[in-house]
Structure 1
Amino acid sequence: MAKLVQFDRLGGPEVLTLRDVEVATPGAGEVRIRVDAIGLNRAEIMYREGVYFDQPVFPSTLGYEAAGVIEAVGPGVDGLAEGDTVAVVPAFLQSRYGTYGTNIIVPASAVVPRPAQVDPAQAAAMWMAYITAYGALIESGKVRPGDHVLITAASSSVGLAAIQLTNHIGAIPIATTRGADKKQRLLDAGAAHVIVTDDEDVPARVKEITGGEGVRLAFDPIAGPGVETLALGIAPDGFLVVYGALDPRTTPLPNAQSYPALNSSTYTLFEITMNPERLRRAVAFVNAGLASGSFAPVVDRTFDLTEISEAHRYMAANGHVGKIVVTVTHDDTV
């Protein structure tokens, strides 16, 4: 038997249940992975609550990221074999696959080799974060050395990855955080400047930092009316990239009557992970950053799989800096 986290109704962390299920056989184009660690993401809270773009089909599992070892390969899978140490990247819908379990089935297209220099917890913590940052800053935003990049909600795993990536290419990361308690940790994480939004005027501080020019790109997971404030700090012909929806209110589109001419867009990492060529480039970029030492996944705290509800409560409290990871202990009889 395997263990799998499932839920039968929308709700809070208490709806998550760890159940015994039969070990499944991978189908065509699929692999089965013996999981060592699982990375948690805000999208999984939204999915569990029913406010994500993808809706659960009950009984539903969930989860986008994991690290482990392939233990079975389905028909038509090339380039992967039993015994390979791998990581799972978000390249599927949670209504079809999930990573919250001891032995999981995922599409082979969502599996990448685990870099030798990272352990399972780090491997489970890295791909969502670094691919999200890579796609927005490099593929879409075309950030260049010397550019200023404004990174909001910067203490998240994506925010920290964006800080590292910005430094890696020779650009200048400006981080924002609501409270002063995380300021020093963001500076220690590599931010060149930190703006505390509860205490400081964001556009004014951005203009001060950039000598009046503004940032090349603002990278924002919050959305909502706050994007109008961000737009005031973007340089002419710069980029506003919204990659999340932490603020459920309507997000206005900045217009030319009030702001400099800028490029405004939404973004999801599926633009990268579901395109084989773009995913190949992203994996190569991230692996190069790991090899050089520029990239180091940040794990805030780990929980055991039996503590999955508590892990979700901890994530919802927003006190963490970096990734929350769930580790998996296997019964030798599985």
Structure 2
Amino acid sequence: MKAVLMTATGSPEVLQVQEVPNPAVPVGNTELLIRLVAAGLNPIDTKLRSRGTFYPEQMPAILGCDGAGVVEAVGTGVQRFRPGDEVYFCMGGLGAHQGNYAEYTVVNERFVARKPASISFAEAAAAPLVLITAWEALYERGRLEPGERVLIHAGAGGVGHVAIQLAKLKGASVSTTVSSEEKANFVKQLGADHVIFYKQMDFVQAALNWTNGEGVDLAFDTVGGETFHKTFPAVRVYGDIVTILEPNANTIWKNARIRNLRISLELMLTPALLGLEQSLQHHAEILEQSANWIDQGRLKIHVSHKFPLKEAAKAHQLLETGSITGKIVLLISDE
């Protein structure tokens, strides 16, 4: 099969299309052989490419955590799927197990969800990591409740545009930061109640004005760096802030302590890195519920750019500009 191999650590040019052996057809187990139609790109892919995977001794590597495709064969213990089923999932791509920049992969049925019927494979492949990240950050780390007010940074981005919709589905009011009128129109279409042009105004003051000086109940940081600690004053006393980035060593914690904030870290890759199978199964359950909302027209996945598999390097270059609306996808085969 064709696959994009990360042949070394470095620039996007280390991604090379090569012929590699097909994965073994599953026999006597609960695994699925999946013909991949599309693979989603995420910032973790570019970080692993430039810095090295979590398993540097296992090179070359195939990146790509997100995939969508068709079940080709099943192990004898499989109960939920059969050949021909369309699926999507977040599995592999961290260095230990094959990722989804390839024509085929093998995944345990417990970690796979049925693809939403109403969307394309490209849209489905763009969804898993950002859906799980936003779901865990808002519903589980942030304990979001109906009627609460949420500040979501970078609402037009991959995680952000899904987080806006999940917050609205929970019955929350949403304020979000954007950099342009085009992105403002985009997030309003997703349901954002209040838009902050962070390049033109102080987002903290804007959030305080929106909440009559009280601060938001929950802030969701998808940007990191100084944005994380600069957000503290925008959160109400005894409120929550969740970040998907590791706080810097020079983070200024004073405002968080004075306001007695509950601070949570969200890394949806934890179950894969630590081998937590029950949590990986929970990820599939999140995708199943999200598929229901997608098919009901209550949740949308925005794909801004599509590249053929052979242009994975170009896709990485674009992702690293940091200005993408929605998601980027690699197309592996015809739908």
TM-score, normalization: structure 1?
Answer: 0.89
Partner of residue 287 from structure 2, selected from 274, 283, 296? 283
CA separation of 1:161 and 1:56: change in aligned 2, threshold 3 A: farther
CA separation of 1:91 and 1:266: change in aligned 2, threshold 3 A: farther
Q: Which amino acid aligns with 2:69?
A: G
Kept in 1, the 8 Å contact 2:149–2:216? The answer is yes
The reply to whether residue 65 of structure 1 matches residue 69 of structure 2 is no
Kept in 1, the 8 Å contact 2:68–2:124? The answer is yes
Fraction of identical pairs, as percent: 30
Equivalent-residue separation in structure 2 for 1:217 and 1:25 (angstroms): 46
How many residues of Structure 1 are paired with residues of Structure 2 in the alignment? Answer: 327
Equivalent in the alignment of 2:136: 135
Partner of residue 293 from structure 1, selected from 297, 310, 319? 297
Q: 1:137: how far off?
A: 0.9
Equivalent in the alignment of 1:314: 318
Equivalent-residue separation in structure 2 for 1:190 and 1:56 (angstroms): 45
Q: 1:177: how far off?
A: 2.5
Equivalent in the alignment of 1:148: 149
Equivalent in the alignment of 1:125: 126
Query: What runs of 5+ residues in structure 2 fail to find an aligned partner?
Result: none
Q: 1:241: how far off?
A: 0.5
Equivalent in the alignment of 1:210: 211
Equivalent in the alignment of 1:36: 37
Q: Which has the higher contact order (CA 8 A, sep 6+)?
A: 2
> What secondary structure does 1:232 align onto?
helix
> What secondary structure does 2:212 align onto?
coil
Query: What runs of 5+ residues in structure 1 fail to find an aligned partner?
Result: none
Mean Cα deviation higher: 33-42 or 311-320: 311-320
The reply to whether residue 325 of structure 1 matches residue 329 of structure 2 is yes
Q: 1:166: how far off?
A: 1.3
Equivalent in the alignment of 1:268: 267
Cα RMSD for the two superposed structures? 2.4
CA separation of 1:191 and 1:219: change in aligned 2, threshold 3 A: same
Equivalent in the alignment of 1:243: 244
Kept in 2, the 8 Å contact 1:68–1:86? The answer is yes
CA separation of 1:103 and 1:280: change in aligned 2, threshold 3 A: closer
Q: 1:145: how far off?
A: 1.9
Q: Which amino acid aligns with 2:152?
A: I
Provide, for residues 270-311 of structure 1, a one-character-per-residue CA deviation record: whole Å limited to 9, x for no partner: 467851563355234313422432201111111111111111
CA separation of 1:250 and 1:208: change in aligned 2, threshold 3 A: same
Q: 1:222: how far off?
A: 2.2
Equivalent in the alignment of 2:225: 224
Provide, for residues 5-29 of structure 1, a one-character-per-residue CA deviation record: whole Å limited to 9, x for no partner: 1022101111100111121204554
Q: 1:202: how far off?
A: 1.5
> What secondary structure does 1:228 align onto?
helix
Equivalent in the alignment of 2:81: 80
